[in-house]
Amino acid sequence: MSELYDKLKSGEITPAQYQKEMRKEQLKNLGFEREIDWRNAKAIDEGFESHMDKVNKRLQKQGYNGLADKQKQDAQKQGYKSHPDKIAIQNGLSGNTEYVRNKRHEQGINKPMNENPECSAYLGCYIGEPILEYIYNIIERKQYGNIGYDYLCNKNYKIDVKAVCLDTTKNRWEYHIYKNKVADYFLLLAFDNRHDLNLLHVWLFKGTTKIKNQMGNEKLNNKASFSIMNITRSLCDFYDYEKTYELEHSGKMDTIKQRIEEIKITQTEVLNSIVCIMC
């Protein structure tokens, strides 16, 4: 103990670290490895099943369903969505979703989308969204997971980016719209496959664009999904919305394709050293 105290005096450890080590030694002398083991033993001596059982029953007398219920109510009173969100935000994160995602990355359960071409978000967020910056004057790129749209352009339009590869079994590109009425526009990118990532088509649709179907005309933002067949007739039907030729004429398409190649090279280096795990 004198050695530990000397470290405290010399500044090698903080007072908090000193207290923690002292507590470890106390628990060890009492025959416990962890604080929770000691708390559980104490609660059992008092007639409870465990320490958590003791806490929950005490809180139930105060009108709560248990600890989780109290934490949730306290967090919501402070303006947070939930207790996990509160803890994450207080630690500098956007919320519990980001915390869980980071943990899964650290533990190797998942890989970040920029390191995993098999991830469903890889095409849209890591490959697709940066392309938009070459087409429009973007004033704000929203955080991953933002509801309804990915970008805000200089005309204050909300733009949702959708990027998919050709479904060779059905010879079509299928985009999940999810009846999204938040976005003003949908930028639809069509690639050949995940390996080559050749950008074949770029379409821009207003959310209220009417799409012909067997039932008549239906607004795009009222559809759960939307498909474009890889056949001349279908491609001609949406010619007015295609931006591919405009981009090629302006020279922007070459810049976009170069950007995609740069991303692919980076991913090849990453994937050579890391085994790809499905999202």
| One-letter-per-residue 3-state SS of 70-127 | HHHHHHHHCCCCCHHHHHHHHCCCCCHHHHHHHHHHHCCCCCCHHHCCCCHHHHHHHH
* Mean of pLDDT values over 224-251: 90
Does residue 279 lie in a domain region?
A: no
pLDDT at 271: 29
Check whether 146 has a pLDDT greater than 70. Answer: yes
Does residue 21 lie in a domain region?
A: yes
- Percent of the chain residues past pLDDT 70, beyond the cut: 75
Whether residues 232 and 139 fall in one domain: yes
Query: Domain tally for the chain?
Result: 2
**Domain finish residue from 106, 122, 145:** 106
pLDDT tens readout for residues 24-77? 888 888 899 899 999 999 999 999 999 999 988 999 999 999 888 888 999 899
Q: Which residue has the higher pLDDT, 201 or 269?
A: 201
**Domain finish residue from 64, 89, 106:** 106
d(CA 54, CA 40): 9
Contact criterion met (CB below 8 Å) for 257 and 92: no
Whether residues 83 and 221 fall in one domain: no
Whether residues 89 and 149 fall in one domain: no
Whether residues 80 and 117 fall in one domain: no
Q: Which of 34-48, 93-107, 162-176 has the lowest mean pLDDT?
A: 93-107
Whether residues 143 and 266 fall in one domain: yes
Which of 120-134, 170-184, 208-222 is the most confident on average?
170-184
Q: Which residues contact 128 (CB under 8 A, 6 or more apart)?
A: 161, 162, 163, 187, 189
Which position has the token pair 């999810």? 178
Whether residues 131 and 85 fall in one domain: no
Which position has the token pair 């050749």? 198
pLDDT at 125: 52
Check whether 98 has a pLDDT greater than 70. Answer: no
pLDDT at 267: 39
Whether residues 242 and 160 fall in one domain: yes
Q: Which domain holds residue 247?
A: 113-273
Does residue 207 lie in a domain region?
A: yes
CA 144 to chain centre: 5
CATH, residue 223: 3.40.1350
* Mean of pLDDT values over 249-264: 74
Check whether 187 has a pLDDT greater than 60. Answer: yes
Task: Report yes or no on whether pTM surpasses 0.85.
Answer: no
d(CA 267, CA 264): 5
